[in-house]
Chain A
């Protein structure tokens, strides 16, 4: 009887040693993808089926799990626009309008396949719970469920590289399981300061057949900011952080 109990205990310990902690893994993916607080430059390219492109360059800053702000640097028609996200609150400041207005995560300030939630992305662990974690070949597969009804996508299927613990592909789904878009993480690059992550993110969507949007990252640097930077009053002054 004692030997059976010992066997069960050893088996349980062995199993728990191999059990995948999805929540912890998602936090690692978040940290490997971005430092907790950082600044970066991004180029957004919307590509039409006929190959025509529209390009936007943004400077963005992030602090903690729920504060992101971005400033449009080009083209001239968008220059000076800023966006701010505090949790699920989002605002857009246009120099012509002269004051911030509330926007929604489903809208897109630049058009194309990326919406505001994609452009002002928070940590995945801040918005999603891990329902299930699997190992599939050289990848982990995390099944994520939105913590609240205000998150842009109800469900995500996130494939992450097992060695690097970096996302490879994410499928964004509705509550009914309908695919909204797929996001591909490509071209892993060393940005310095210990930041090694994909430098290109592509997305396509069955809802926008033939269209593609691309986000290219540059100059990602760890940096801390005061909380006051992430306020409506500061939105017209984001340029001063560059």
Chain B
């Protein structure tokens, strides 16, 4: 009897499962009101830990410029912590938004801690067609992924990590939107005022000016088009246009063009003599984004930097550093190196200071059934001197709100080339970011 009952158990269990099956699933699929509730306030952000390991290039010009009076050895480690907090408060047509960024760094220079308000603005929305903003805000104009020559009112982004938040400027702006039926589907206009005074946007340009900028956005025949401008005195007048369009459902093309009036470029020759030249600069970018059926995403962008340095102008800068280092070693005179450091704070210190670049990135979502893993390979190639950076990375997002990224960065180039003269040969970093 007992044996018979035991034999029946699997059948009973199966029957029970079949009967209970739908109810069990219903239990799994709960969707509570609390999950949809809207609160008038929001507090969130992320905390990040990012240790880095560098392989230093002790012969490179940028290494000599930074470490000429001390020996840092062949390798260096750095520990970074970041806390990015954001909060908002909504009442009626008004919304207050604040985003702060706190960076902790422990490196060869010692420990440092800095908190910056990235965004902090009041937004008024009297109708769905009109928004008024006043305060510190990042605008992020342009369609390019790695570079944005038309982002006249933004700080430059890091092509090595283009999706990072950026610190904004203090502005007053409005957005007016109008939709239509027909080939022109949307028109929106964004006028912007950006004051530059002592302690107000004082790193933007010449003080005591109120700069006026604007963007006219059009969606015409399924193509996004922006016309942008900036005038006012803190920087020279500039105008731009960008576009983005899907050629097919998985192939997108985008571009930007910027015209900068009276751009001033300061160059240095091998003897350390500086020259300033004024001209109208034209920068542009053309890019594509493609998604294959196997979910491989490819992004490629060509960037022509009209404000950049030529190969000989860049060699002049590196020669100045090498001459300065030789003078320092010979008699302790570091005046030429200090001059080079001052030039590096200007145009020569930009992330991509030369004229012609190619950006290429290939990422593969979940290869070999490795769920939530996305490997990617990114390269930035300097087409003027043939040097390049190569960055393999592995992203894991399998745990809710946790993002882990392991990334390496290898720099390849001959002496006198941009990447060949960087202070590092390679870099490895782990980034653990937790959202809350």
Residues of A near any B CB (own CB < 8 A)? 41, 43, 45, 48, 54-55, 57, 59, 73-77, 79, 86-89, 94, 96-99, 101-102, 104-107, 111, 149-152, 187, 200, 214, 216, 218-219, 225-234, 237, 239-240, 242
Contact = CB atoms under 8 A, between A and B. Distances in A.
- Nearest first, the 10 closest Cβ-Cβ pairs linking A and B are A227-B179, A98-B140, A77-B435, A76-B435, A233-B188, A99-B140, A228-B177, A150-B249, A41-B36, A216-B31
Contacts of A187: 26
A74 B224 contact: no
Contacts of A237: 125, 131
A102 B177 contact: no
Given A43-B31, A105-B249, A228 B435 contact: no
B29 A216 contact: yes
B244 A102 contact: yes
A73 B36 contact: yes
A107 B291 contact: yes
Interface string B250-261: 101010000000
Contacts of B44: 76, 79
Interface residues of B, number: 64
Given A73-B35, A86-B185, 14 more contacts: A43-B31, A77-B400, A77-B403, A79-B44, A96-B165, A99-B140, A104-B291, A150-B248, A152-B249, A214-B29, A218-B33, A228-B128, A228-B177, A232-B186
Nearest to A105: B249
B175 A226 contact: no
A104 B129 contact: no
Given A76-B44, A102-B246, A225-B128, A232 B291 contact: no
A75 B44 CA distance: 11
Contact of A242 (B38, B46, B131): B38
A225 B125 CA distance: 15
B138 interface: yes
A96 B38 CA distance: 22
B128 A234 contact: yes
A76 B246 contact: no
B248 A230 contact: no
B372 interface: yes
A102 B365 CA distance: 18
A74 B44 CA distance: 11
Given A88-B222, A150-B248, A57 B179 contact: no
Contacts of A54: 400
Contacts of B35: 41, 43, 57, 73-74
Interface string B351-390: 0000000000000011000011000000000000000000
